[in-house]
Amino acid sequence: MSSTTADLPQRNQSKVDPKNVNRAVKSLLKWWDSKSKTENDGFVYLTVTLKRIPQLDRTNPLMIPLPHPLIDLAAEDSPELCLIIDDKHKNKITKEAALKKIEAENIPITTVIKVSKLKSDLRKLEEEEKRFELYFAERRLMPILPKLLGKEFVKKKKNPIAINLRHGNWKEQIEKACESALFFVGTGTCSVVKVAKLSMGRKEIAENVVAAMNGIGESVPGKWKNVKLFHLKLLESLALPVYQSVA
């Protein structure tokens, strides 16, 4: 028996005006086209201003699914993804076992680092100018990683994403992160989220922005009632308003 509309759960109506988003995207792309393109950051950012600081785990991001992922796992020039494993725990997964599983299940991890050698291995990789799109880490390592990685690492927005290596599906967890905008909650009411790439078309960028705004508005504590402002910007551009809450 088919369900009627009345039987289906009602989703909150979107508060996003696509026209505002399209205007902002068009203006930013026009500004970008006028530049010399010497900047190496080709991303579009959404600045989120909340009314109250949310009480959320600051080490793990909210994952907001995007229609056009920022990381293309199917690309010929596949992205570099790093996994940090806990080799100190009595129930540890060895590096050899992790690499074997990654190869057998076609998991898109390119480098595995043991937490006992984290600092030395990262330094070596940086000297080789190896750049990772994302870092993942065994969930139980998350409380100690900020101290091990240092402030500069966190400043560069390279916070590792926790995954469950014991019971979760590794590939599924990694693909979900790669297909999402990662909203790390800041210590204040303002946060910045990477939502699109300038290499995308204007329509794709706008669709990602709308999806990110709706996802954040539905995911933060207090939902839309706690969202004050959304602005859209490039790395060195002005921030253009795309949403303001009505008092």
pLDDT tens-digit profile of 18-55? 999 999 999 999 999 888 665 555 899 999 999 998 87
Q: Are 126 and 24 in contact (CB under 8 A)?
A: no
Domain boundary among 177, 210, 239: 177
- Residue 227 pLDDT more than 80? yes
Q: Are 243 and 229 in contact (CB under 8 A)?
A: yes
Give the Cα separation of 146 and 130 in Å (integer): 20
- Residue 5 pLDDT more than 60? no
Provide mean pLDDT across the span 5-13.
45
Q: Bridge partners of 227? A: 50
Q: Bridge partners of 43? A: 197
Give residue 151's domain range.
73-177
- Residue 3 pLDDT more than 80? no
Higher per-residue confidence, 188 vs 180: 180
Picking from 51-55, 180-184, 199-203, which range would have the lowest pLDDT averaged per residue?
Answer: 51-55
The count of domains in the chain is 2
Q: Are residues 183 and 65 in the same domain?
A: yes
What tens digit of pLDDT does each residue of 90-143 get?
778 899 999 999 999 999 999 999 999 888 888 887 777 678 889 999 998 988
Provide mean pLDDT across the span 225-229.
94
Q: Quick check: is 203 in a domain?
A: yes
Q: Are residues 239 and 209 in the same domain?
A: yes
Domain boundary among 154, 177, 200: 177
Q: Are residues 147 and 233 in the same domain?
A: no
Q: Quick check: is 212 in a domain?
A: yes
Q: Quick check: is 173 in a domain?
A: yes
**With a threshold of 0.75, does the pTM exceed it?**
yes
Specify the DSSP element, H or E, that contains 70: none
Q: Are residues 84 and 172 in the same domain?
A: yes
Give the Cα separation of 11 and 110 in Å (integer): 39
